[in-house]
């Protein structure tokens, strides 16, 4: 705790009358509860020889941490949690969030195709629905991490996926699985 002792009027007058005398170093200060409460302020005693009452003791609690206070952002749009989190890392995480959402959207389109009444491949539909949910969960986890680190999530527009997956040579099931394999490779790059 920092206490700055201002000289009492008597000590200031004595120092002014003897300019060549060295200034006394401030003694450690002990704050004592006064026996009779003065109308304003608190009386303090020095822990030195004379034990005289000091006046003008100023409590300055933030003097010790002035250097650390400069590290705290002062504007409301800056995050207090953002420490050693470079902009390139934030941008890469935002890019991966958008990749995950695009993959989720494409898987969801595959789910909708294979769940149709005229295609009716329920096992494929279930697989693609679960894959869509998993990719969305990945994006949400990355968003939570970005917010925890003090970054800002910047979502981009999602690319419109295909809605028809029937291929004349490969068929719709093989073509859908090939697209799913490409989506897995896209997400891992």
Burial of 11 from C-beta contacts in 10 A (0-12 / 13-18 / 19+) = middle
Q: Supply 46's token pair.
A: 């020095």
Q: How far apart are CA 74 and CA 68, in angstroms?
A: 13
- Give the angle 23-28-33 at the CA atoms, nearest 5°: 125
Tokens of 179: 């697209």
User: Is 52 assigned a ligand-binding role in the annotation?
Assistant: no
Residue among 121, 101, 130 nearest 176 (CA) = 121
108 annotated to bind ligand: no
CA dihedral 130, 132, 136, 137 (to 10 degrees): 20
Cα–Cα distance for residue pair 26/5, rounded to 1 Å: 7
Concatenate the DSSP letters of all residues of 33-69 into one string: --SS--SSS--EEESSSS-PEE--EEE-TTSTTHHHH
Q: Which residues are documented as binding site for Fe cation?
A: 100, 135, 138
Q: Which residues are documented as binding site?
A: 100, 135, 138
């Amino acid at each position: 705790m920092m206490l700055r002792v201002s000289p009492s009027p008597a000590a200031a007058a004595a120092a002014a009358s003897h300019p060549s005398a060295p200034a006394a170093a401030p003694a450690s200060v002990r704050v004592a509860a006064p026996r009779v409460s003065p109308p304003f302020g608190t009386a303090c005693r020095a822990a030195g020889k004379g034990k005289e009452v000091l006046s003008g003791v100023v409590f300055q609690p933030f003097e010790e941490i002035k250097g650390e206070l400069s590290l705290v952002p002062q504007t409301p749009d800056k995050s207090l949690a953002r420490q050693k989190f470079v902009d390139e890392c934030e941008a890469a995480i935002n890019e991966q969030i958008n990749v995950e959402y695009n993959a989720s959207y494409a898987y969801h389109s595959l789910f909708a195709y294979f769940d149709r009444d005229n295609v009716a491949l329920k096992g494929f539909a279930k697989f693609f629905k679960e894959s869509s949910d998993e990719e969305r969960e990945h994006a949400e986890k990355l968003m939570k991490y970005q917010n925890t680190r003090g970054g800002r999530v910047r979502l981009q527009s999602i690319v419109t996926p295909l809605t028809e997956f029937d291929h004349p040579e490969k068929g719709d099931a093989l073509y859908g699985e090939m697209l799913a394999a490409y989506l897995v490779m896209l997400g891992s790059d």
